[in-house]
Homo-oligomer: A and B are copies of this chain.
Amino acid sequence: MVSRVGREIELSPVEMGSRLGRKVEIDMASGSPDPNTIPLQQIRDAYNEVIESRGPSSLFYPGAGGQHELIDEIKRYLPSLKLNSKGSIVVTSGAQHAIELVAKYLLEDNVIAVENPTFVETLASLKHRSSIVLPVNIDANGISIEELDTMTKVIRPELVYVIPNCHNPGGVNLCEDRRKALAEMASERNFFIIEDDPYRPIAGDVPSPIKNHDRTGKVIYISSFSKILAPGLRVGFIVANDEIAERVSLLEQLDFSTSTINQYVISSLLRKGFITSRMTMLYNHYKRKMKTLIDSLTDAGLSSFNEPKCGFFLLLDLKKNAFKVLEETEKRGLVFVPAKGFFLRGGDTWARLSITKSSEEQIKRGVEILKHALNQIS
């Protein structure tokens, strides 16, 4: 009477966290960028300019695949992501929508492999369409190629899902050797890779994308303007081989969800070079806040984490049940995301701490609350 995904879908811990986050003083749950970094004036000017210059056509149906003007601007933008433009571009309503579209296209009860841990919300789009989800551990240098190699010798996945930069929730970057090895393995063993790379624009100097090493069109590159600009516009994109790009773009006819005017707003801001001009500034901004978190945790004797290289998140082993710890911290005004949902095995004692919505003072205070809560729990 109801579809598989209709039965299986659950409230994500991130969505739950961000709902809780609105009610407390210190929100270390949110995956939204730092509100202070959202360039209100430039976005406002862009809306005015787009409506002024384009008139009614700024508000027509978007059509499938994206506005030509935006696609052209994204092409010019790719070198600043170190991406060799191999393949075609499809505009989407953010990276989550992009992954949903690719999953809708590729998967029908297939075997897939994902990082353990991985991002719980994108995982949902993949797992509800898969028969088996193979978890591959990550370390300080990203996904373990050895483990993936061993697994894929035994069972061929249709798709491997990877977050190469500023991993969510792990905070780590995938090292260059492993990027090459991944692309090579995909070509040899005939599986697709989703390279989910929304953090690259704020990641600082990271190795070039896995997609650059892609000989056979097996890597599907996905990014977004949510971190570098603002998530509320809901604009992202896919770079994939021509066949996948064409089919995925046709699938957009099923939702037509990407706002036309918002596409033109992004297009305008790209054309002016405004988006690329923010990259280093935002990398440094988050780096500074992350250092505050790392220092505070270290000072508090909480050191079970891989040091995040960039991005919004630090994954901390609390060594105690994270949901119980959250109950305690919530009373004192701190919310974070218990990370169990990000893990395919284990994860009960891990917390995802975000640095975006809290000030440096709040981060310090948040760590104090966390430390206190851990002491409360036997």
CB neighbors of B among A51-98 (8 A): 51-52, 55-64, 93-94, 96-97
| Interchain CA distance A94-B256 in the complex, whole Å | 8
Contact of A253 among B32, B124, B259 (CB under 8 A): B124
CB neighbors of B among A184-243 (8 A): 226, 230-234
Smallest beta-carbon distance A314→chain B, Å? 20
Smallest beta-carbon distance A45→chain B, Å? 10
A48 surroundings in chain B (CB, below 8 A):
44, 47-48
Copies in the complex: 2
A232–B61 touching, CB < 8 Å? yes
The interface-forming segment of A100-108, A305-313, A346-354 is: A100-108
Q: Could you mark each residue 1-45 of chain A with 1 if its beta carbon is under 8 Å from any beta carbon of chain B, else 0?
A: 111111001111001001100000000000110011010100110
Q: Could you mark each residue 243-282 of chain A with 1 if its beta carbon is under 8 Å from any beta carbon of chain B, else 0?
A: 0000100110111111111100000000000000000000
Is A317 at the interface (CB under 8 A from chain B)? no
B47–A250 touching, CB < 8 Å? no
Smallest beta-carbon distance A65→chain B, Å? 9
- A158's closest neighbor in chain B, by CB? B1
Smallest beta-carbon distance A125→chain B, Å? 5
A56-B35 contact in complex given A47-B47, A108-B4, A254-B124, C-beta closer than 8 Å? yes
A251–B47 touching, CB < 8 Å? no
Smallest beta-carbon distance A64→chain B, Å? 6
| Interchain CA distance A260-B6 in the complex, whole Å | 24
Is A340 at the interface (CB under 8 A from chain B)? no
Is A121 at the interface (CB under 8 A from chain B)? yes
Is A129 at the interface (CB under 8 A from chain B)? yes
A251 surroundings in chain B (CB, below 8 A):
5-6, 9
A61 surroundings in chain B (CB, below 8 A):
18, 31-32, 226, 231-232
B231–A6 touching, CB < 8 Å? no
Contact of A97 among B40, B124, B226, B256 (CB under 8 A): B256
Smallest beta-carbon distance A236→chain B, Å? 10
| Interchain CA distance A9-B121 in the complex, whole Å | 25
A12–B253 touching, CB < 8 Å? yes
16 further A-B pairs in the complex, CB-CB below 8 A; given A38-B59, A40-B51: A3-B105, A3-B108, A4-B108, A5-B105, A15-B63, A15-B253, A31-B61, A35-B55, A43-B51, A61-B232, A62-B232, A93-B257, A96-B254, A233-B261, A234-B256, A257-B257
| Residues of A bordering B, CB below 8 Å | 1-6, 9-12, 15, 18-19, 31-32, 35-36, 38, 40, 43-44, 47-48, 51-52, 55-64, 93-94, 96-97, 100, 104-108, 121, 124-125, 129, 158, 226, 230-234, 247, 250-251, 253-262
Contacts A/B (CB < 8 Å), 9 sampled: A2-B105, A5-B254, A6-B106, A9-B250, A56-B230, A58-B232, A94-B257, A100-B254, A234-B258
